[in-house]
Amino acid sequence: MTAVLFLCFFLLCFSFTPSLQHVSESEPLVRFKTSVNITKGDLNSWRTGTDPCNGKWFGIYCQKGQTVSGIHVTRLGLSGIIDVENLKDLPNLRTIRLDNNLLSGPLPPFFKLHGLKSLLLSNNSFSGEIADDFFKDTPQLKRVFFDNNRFTGRIPTSVMQLAGLEELHLQGNEFSGEIPSLTDSNKILKSLDLSNNNLEGEIPKSIGERKNLQMNFQGNEKLCGQPLNIKCDHKPSSTGSGKDPNEVTGKAIFMVIFFLLVFLIVVAIITRWKKKRQPEFRMLGKDHLSDHESVEVRVPDSIKKPIESSKKRSTTDGSSKKGSTHHGKGGAGNPGGGGMGDIIMVNSEKGSFGLPDLMKAAAEVLGNGSLGSAYKAVMANGLSVVVKRIRDMNKLARDAFDVELQRFGKLRHPNVLTPLAYHYRREEKLVVSEYMPKSSLLYVLHGDRGIYHSELTWPTRLKIIQGVARGMQFLHEEFASYELPHGNLKSSNVLLSETYEPLISDYAFLPLLQSNNASQALFAFKSPEFAQKQQVSPKSDVYCLGIILLEVLTGKFPSQYLNNGKGGTDIVEWVQSSFAQHKEEELIDPEIASNTNSLQQMVELLRIGATCIASNPDERENMKETVRRIEGITI
């Protein structure tokens, strides 16, 4: 634990200190550039001797501004040979996007890049067969997009053995033969597109019968089985059709053990986390910035053994991932005092559920925040929810807590996330809300940037900022009498729908929290007025809105979110000095700055943001006026 914290601290401290590594990473990139032909556009911004993480290199993404983590070179008419050996000199490279180019020939040996998480080669002309064990040395791959190329031969079995595979797109190729089965240890595959190939035979049950998996098999005439509703004429060969009775009882025993295990794990999760209190930057540094990790529940050995000996693997045994401690003695016995109670629904628009439904759901850790930890749970009826376990919400007695949560449950605004249910116990509260597919603004902006950042065009960013502003105005009207109508507005509390519509969460918590906890946990208490005079007001929410606005426009991670202020970019200082020197345009994220027709609007929005973060609250406009100005910006 200490080691992990120390490491994060170290990384954040040195994020913005130039180091030799930066510059040395320019060399393999420049070699890459010269080894290929570019017919549309250019990579002139890639220059030896400059820092690839200085924000000026087109298509280069860096982890915490420090080391190259993504190459994103699309639609440049790229052709030639990709020299993978050369890319090995980028030790932290996680994402390669070369889609929509003119690359051809056999698949380059990307397996040499062992840390790769995303490989996107869609819409090129790669051809030939892919070795069956191609993916054996890239165990962290999550996204494999090889669609619309000319690959032939079988789908490599090793790709289906990737435990962390989330999205596999192979459509529009000439793959043939049977589909390999998916490994049991993969619990997170959510999108599989194999359409328009020449695949045949039965779709493996490990794939066809899986819940919560988006699948497409169209355009493969000889495929059969679920979910196509085409019966297979079973050939007597291969996969066991005549089940022997031993296997059937084995399966029944396995099911019993499996449900027992799920129950134990959920109890373990519910009882354990009052122990832990982690500084906020752990969440930022690890869980959100890198990627989602799947469940990290360590199953006690005494339970694990019988399972292993039943020769099957459970779908919740995520014990292999990096150690999350404190699970060791998770047992059924001690639910932690206070009784289990049930879930109280406050908003039934998505249907009703109870604690048993949540307990049976497959869970995934999303991260630890300043108020507690968050889990994603997918219930049997398909509804995905986020369960937030909030510590130290003990200010109100149960009745008053209920009144407050019922009130939240009645809020209806397209940019405000209405909770669905809660669970009350003395020492911890669970708040359940709908899960949003694009995760949070924090994740989309600073997480696996190679993937989502390109979708954050100027119109999308403006839509997000305006949505957040409208949601805030609504909250300021609803909770007009509150000292802090929101109190904790920051990019991790702005969730995004599939279409990037923002939804604000974790609002109006101040009355629920003990005051010393509130000042630790809520972002509004990081405003200058609290630092100087120990005061907060609705204008503190305006300050928080300003930070988000500037975060979205600059694409930088604000150091203001960190407890020690070390790491990230001091957005307040940077914005104020750029304005003083009339160099506002240098603030704009290079990704959108090329949109020169809209520079004027971007600068206007920067000005609004700069007013919001004025250190004297009297110099800020109130929420209503701020929102009116933000709404006035048009594309």
Ligand X SMILES: *[C@@H]1O[C@H](CO)[C@@H](O)[C@H](O)[C@H]1NC(C)=O
By the criterion CB under 6 A, which residues form the site for ligand X?
36-37, 79-80, 99-100, 122-123, 148
Q: Do the Cβ atoms of 303 and 328 come closer than 8 Å?
A: no
* Of residues 79 and 127, the one with the C-beta less far from ligand X: 79
* Of residues 100 and 569, the one with the C-beta less far from ligand X: 100
* Of residues 99 and 291, the one with the C-beta less far from ligand X: 99
The token pair that represents 163 in the structure block:
């435990």
* Of residues 81 and 380, the one with the C-beta less far from ligand X: 81
DSSP single-letter state for residue 350:
T
Q: Do the Cβ atoms of 52 and 68 come closer than 8 Å?
A: yes
Q: Do the Cβ atoms of 28 and 87 come closer than 8 Å?
A: yes
- Report the C-alpha gap between 267 and 340 in whole angstroms: 10
Closest CA relative to residue 543, chosen from 619, 597, 481, 605: 619
Closest CA relative to residue 625, chosen from 615, 635, 612: 612
CB of 143 to ligand X, least distance (A): 11
CB of 81 to ligand X, least distance (A): 7
Q: Do the Cβ atoms of 377 and 363 come closer than 8 Å?
A: yes
Q: How far is CA 462 from the centre of its chain?
A: 21
CB of 97 to ligand X, least distance (A): 9
Cα→Cα distances 84→43, 81, 112, 241, 513, Å: 18, 9, 7, 44, 53
CB of 460 to ligand X, least distance (A): 16
- Report the C-alpha gap between 226 and 445 in whole angstroms: 38
* Of residues 148 and 418, the one with the C-beta less far from ligand X: 148
CB of 262 to ligand X, least distance (A): 37
* Of residues 148 and 440, the one with the C-beta less far from ligand X: 148
* Of residues 97 and 539, the one with the C-beta less far from ligand X: 97
CB of 165 to ligand X, least distance (A): 18
CB of 169 to ligand X, least distance (A): 8
CB of 158 to ligand X, least distance (A): 23
* Of residues 33 and 413, the one with the C-beta less far from ligand X: 33
**Omega of the bond prior to 227 within 30 degrees of 0, cis?**
yes
- Report the C-alpha gap between 508 and 417 in whole angstroms: 12
CB of 126 to ligand X, least distance (A): 13
Cα→Cα distances 434→266, 385, 397, 494, Å: 19, 4, 26, 13
Q: Do the Cβ atoms of 422 and 429 come closer than 8 Å?
A: yes
* 3-state percent helix, strand, coil for the chain, nearest multiple of 5: 35, 15, 45
CA 386, 277, 298, 2 dihedral sign is positive
User: DSSP for 163-175?
Assistant: TT--EEE--SSEE
Nearby residues of 567 by Cβ (< 8 Å), 6 or more positions away? 11, 12, 13, 15, 16, 64, 281, 557, 559
Rounded to 5°, the CA angle 205-209-214 comes to 120
Q: Tell the residue number behind the tokens 């089940």, with chain if given.
A: 243
* Of residues 142 and 391, the one with the C-beta less far from ligand X: 142
* Of residues 190 and 327, the one with the C-beta less far from ligand X: 190
Q: How far is CA 303 from the centre of its chain?
A: 31
CB of 80 to ligand X, least distance (A): 3
Q: How far is CA 205 from the centre of its chain?
A: 28
CB of 84 to ligand X, least distance (A): 15
CB of 35 to ligand X, least distance (A): 6
* Of residues 69 and 148, the one with the C-beta less far from ligand X: 148
* Of residues 80 and 201, the one with the C-beta less far from ligand X: 80
The token pair that represents 606 in the structure block:
């920067």
